[in-house]
Copies of this chain bind each other. A is one copy, B any other.
Amino acid sequence: MNYNRLTSKHKNSLREMVSKDRFSTGESNLNLHSKDQSHHPPSMPEAVIWPVDRFEVSEILKYANKNLIPITGWGSGSSLEGNPIPVRGGIVLDFSQMNRIIDIREKDFQADVEPGVIYQDLNEKLKYSGLFFPPDPGARATIGGIIANNSSGTRTVHYGSAKDYVMRLSVVLADGSYIKTGTRASKTSSGYDLIHLLVGSEGTLGIVVEATLKLTGLPQELSAAIATFPNITDAGKAVYQIRRYGLDPAALELLSTECIELINNKKGLGLTAAPTLFIEFHGPSVTYLSEALKMAQEICNDSGCTEFRSGLGRDERDRLFEARHELAEMIFQNHPDCNVQILDVAVPITGYTSMISKAREITDAAGLTGYALSHAGDGNIHLCLAGKKGNRKDWDLIDKISHEMVAEALSLGGTATGEHGVGIGKKQYMADEHGDSLEWMKKIKKLFDPNHILNPGKMF
């Protein structure tokens, strides 16, 4: 697709669509919107616009569509596959000023929000209602970004992904037209499910300007445990057995020795430096939780666990999960001269042990420092590899490892991307993963966005 570069005429027209202070071509703004938290190389947009309502979004898209100008939506830039990097230039739409929590309907377990709302802010506001929005990708992700990437996180093993929490969407399409889709009823079998088509489409089919989210009740009780293992394979076996015996953890995270050492270092948690499971249960009563933890302990012991600390209270649990959420950032800081690739694959749970062992094995063989952290209960594995910036040898090796990991995940019936989306990094695996159905995804893209102005260079 041949896009037009922004001319002065374009810029003047666009500037007039919004107030002057919400249109920028300033270097620092362009810079800020040229990169996300991934290792993918930055690419500058030609302008950044901060819309405040759907009418502005419509007008901008209509204009961009007519003038063949790329449009890339922007939440907080916390994504990990280059999803919002404007690789073809054009306009970045930054939604930080569309961040109103429009309505909380506590009694219906629903909230209407704009895409720029930070999910932690929503949960903070919901705190006293006893409700929350479960997907927790970490960082300060926005609802718009969470919807675009079908994000999930540590609680997905019990609560599900973003796709399970979106009831209604208001969307501006490529030509500037506006649709509302979905229902406020808790279930429907009316018409095609456009909601799920849009969730996870990474802003390539339309731009979400409002969402009705399903909320759920905060757990009545919670309790957590830490289990330490002599090696990552034994830890992986425990994960599989916990799932296999039908225990229903609210979080089941596996961290490699390198991760634990880093956490100890930065947070002084004094954990045993070995492969470690964080296990959390949510439940209706203390009795229920202690039963679940007891079963988890038995399973871990049978899998070779060397240390099991149970019954962690809310404070200690919060410190652990805070550290878990900050881990990516800690890894970045630990390698200031490097870029870090956070590989994201997911496999059926029977494949988990072999997948996590393979990660260990190929990282060791390559002589690299690899941080394996994983939403283990979902069979979702992240392998973080640091490569010196611009060092061809490092990055060839990292690419090779990525290919091997993805190939292994796909051969086990899994996916090339569990929660980070396709973005730039996973495009190359789409054909292998989706086969002939990829052509239909492309046809849908063409139907919704015939000029390919929406987030070009991603997904396909």
Contact = CB atoms under 8 A, between A and B. Distances in A.
B348 A188 contact: no
Given A183-B433, A196-B197, A191 B347 contact: no
B414 A183 contact: yes
B187 A192 contact: no
B438 A191 contact: yes
Nearest to A417: B190
Contacts of A156: 187
Given A200-B192, A349-B186, A419-B187, A130 B414 contact: no
A9 B151 CA distance: 53
Nearest to A163: B193
A433 B348 contact: no
Interface in A182-240: 183-197, 199-201, 205, 217, 240
A421 interface: yes
Interface string A336-353: 000000000011111000
* Chain A interface size, under 10 / 10 to 19 / 20 to 34 / 35 or more: 35 or more
Contacts of A187: 152, 156, 161, 346, 378, 380, 415, 418-419
Nearest to A445: B192
Contacts of A178: 436
A135 to B, nearest CB: 11
- Across the A-B interface, the 8 shortest Cβ-Cβ residue pairs: A196-B196, A184-B413, A185-B346, A188-B415, A217-B246, A181-B437, A185-B414, A179-B437
Given A185-B418, A186-B348, A186-B380, 17 more contacts: A107-B244, A161-B187, A183-B346, A184-B413, A185-B409, A185-B413, A188-B415, A189-B200, A190-B416, A190-B422, A191-B441, A193-B196, A193-B197, A193-B199, A194-B437, A194-B440, A443-B447
